[in-house]
A and B are shown apart, each in its own frame.
Chain A
Amino acid sequence: MNGTDPPSADAGASERAQRGKFASELAGGPGRERAGAEQLGGNGSVPELHEVDCPTDLREAIETAMGRYPDPRSASIPALWAVQRRYGWCTPEGIRQAAAVMGVPPAHLEAVASFYDLFRLEPAGRHDVLLCTNISCWMRGADELLEAVCGAADAELEKATHEGATSADGELFISNFQCMGACDIAPMAAIDGRYVGPLEAGDASAIVDDIRSGREPFPERSLVRRPAAGSPEPEPDPRVAES
């Protein structure tokens, strides 16, 4: 601590506390009930709704999620999904807004967000391109695919391999992501949540071009269109066929 910053930070905190106090006085009582905020172990207070300027649609999405659970605090992952959908990533402001709606400290939601790999804690490209390089995909050329996609999109391979990299034009967020549960179409990618494969390094520029121009890459190779591996269906076992 250099002795100059803390006083101003403290001043900000006390100012916020004052505002919070004033707000609850205005409301004619002690603020609304905090859903067990003290048990969550997060530092800091729960922001008031009027302090955070939460967009109505976001607020409604979070409140709907809260209503689905016996304990509304179960809605923290759905709330963070709503924030990420609204802002493209889990912005500090978005997290504060969600915290205010849920009545929990923002630190609690930050801790949750940082635990799960699908939440973005910094700005990321508009389109998600997750490429699996786990065992089955790796054995079928996933490393080469990841490298080729990074090359085609102008994104940093080293960064994409570890925490994910945004392409130079800001359009694509490319990340090595293991294992997505689609080893039958290895090597595969999840592009904006849609599973597609098998892909090869030679497909990289088509993938990147399609995403940039708003087309779905290789729709004929999307997982949802794939029949079961053993199709056509074999004659049923006599025990299964009866009745």
Chain B
Amino acid sequence: MPARETRILFRHIDEPGLAEIDTFRRLGGYRAAEKAFTTMEPTEVLNELESSGLRGRGGAGFSMGKKASFLPRGEMDKYLCCNADESEPGAFKDRELIQKNPHQLIEGITIGALAADANRCFVYIRGEYAEFADILERAVGEAYEAGYLGERAYGTGHQVELVVHRGAGAYICGEETALLDSLEGKRGNPRLKPPFPAIKGLYDGPTLINNVETLANCPHIIGRGADWFKSFGTEQSPGTKVVSVSGCVQRPGNYEVELGISSRELIEGLAGGPPPGHEVKAWFPGGSSAPILTAAELDVPYTFEDMQKAGSMLGSGSIIVADETVSIPHLALRTARFYHHESCGKCTPCREGTNWTVKMLERVIRGDATPMDLDVTASVQDNIIGNCLCVLGDSMAMPVGSMVRKFRNEFEQAIEEGRAAAALPLEEAEEWAPMEAA
């Protein structure tokens, strides 16, 4: 079967005026939420979301309905935060969902708020997305005017307030507890868990935090039912996924596919693969924090469970492809430098580990490392993973560790060339050039 998209969230994506409420309504928008608010009990909505098996699209893949069910019931201020901080290198799906179809997200947020019984909602959108935040704010204004937001959402007794909150450039704020600190007006440092945000989150109140794409799925689940939703994808990964494909491919962009499609169809079929004459050497299946896979692993089905079995992860669903011209030690350094820069510095293994990893990789590339450095690099990664408040350090350790493991020969070659050059007579050594600096 030829590679094809299955568009649910991306249906009508380039329809002119889709970002405006009239067009969105003409195409069936807000009907699902109206049905939920006017004919369903909040627990029914929650049950429907839970039985759909929808897994979080932000990276962790946790059941959305289950997460919402962790919030306590009862009279108190509860919050819903939509995580639109999308900062993982390689990820750009939420951006297109917000830019082109902001009302789908707003409708999803109201449904999520009903299910979790939350009355105050926020979209935490990264500061760089200023153009798209403007679009979203305009849409929020329209939704207030239409009565879908406000004190009596959809004309019912449920209050749903929604504020678009812009960040200001910090990768760590995509981590849910750092997001909460940032939203409270502080530096975005992660918090110690437990307590989890469902119990004690924003302003110490119960808080549900969901990714943009997760919430954008909710209208479709409520509108057509959990069973319909489960007819897409696999048993453990139901539904579709908007996958960002970039790097060495001919048609980079977002593709919405049924989970379970082969990764090769996504990379080579839809995105066109590397330009003619080039071939896939390595690829990140889930953003730059996912352990790298090789060309031999292109036929792994694109699901949460299969990526895990292959030793990597689906993450936020962002594929970055490297062809044979890309040097893996340079790729490792590029990856490590990003996390080093973004480490908030709170936990020592991450702060120091990212720093030392960058230094060791620079030595490899300059040609003054020893073979032992590779083992030290590997052990640094082992000492970061699982030892910090959040997974930022792990996000460097996992891909860098996988690159050293799977492409060790490239690192060794760089080291050996550097050592051989050191033993040359002076005039020959001067002609030797280390790997081009990254």
Contact = CB atoms under 8 A, between A and B. Distances in A.
Interface of A: 68-71, 73-78, 80-81, 111-112, 115-119, 130, 134-136, 138-140, 177-186, 190, 193-195, 223-224, 227-231, 233-234, 236-237, 239-240, 243
Q: Number of contact residues on B: which range applies?
A: 35 or more
21 contacts: A70-B77, A117-B168, A117-B170, A118-B127, A118-B169, A134-B338, A135-B320, A139-B247, A179-B90, A181-B129, A183-B89, A183-B90, A183-B244, A190-B128, A193-B131, A229-B245, A229-B254, A229-B271, A230-B5, A234-B5, A240-B7
A190 B10 CA distance: 25
A230 B253 contact: yes
B255 A230 contact: yes
A203 B183 CA distance: 38
B89 A195 contact: no
Interface of B: 4-8, 10-14, 77, 86-92, 94-96, 99-100, 120, 126-131, 163, 165-170, 182-188, 203, 224, 228, 231-232, 244-248, 251-256, 270-271, 284, 288, 318, 320, 322, 326, 331, 334-335, 338, 341, 344, 438
Contacts of B7: 233-234, 236-237, 240
B288 A135 contact: yes
Contact of B322 (A68, A69, A139, A223): A139
A127 B228 CA distance: 50
Nearest to B326: A139
B167 A116 contact: yes
B231 A239 contact: yes
Contacts, number: 178
Contacts of A76: 185-186
B253 A182 contact: no
B338 A183 contact: no
B165 A77 contact: yes
A234 B3 CA distance: 11
Nearest to B13: A228
A77 B331 contact: no
B252 A186 contact: yes
B252 A229 contact: yes
A116 B169 contact: yes
A115 B252 contact: no
Contacts of A186: 246-247, 252
Contact of B168 (A77, A228, A243): A77
B182 A184 contact: no
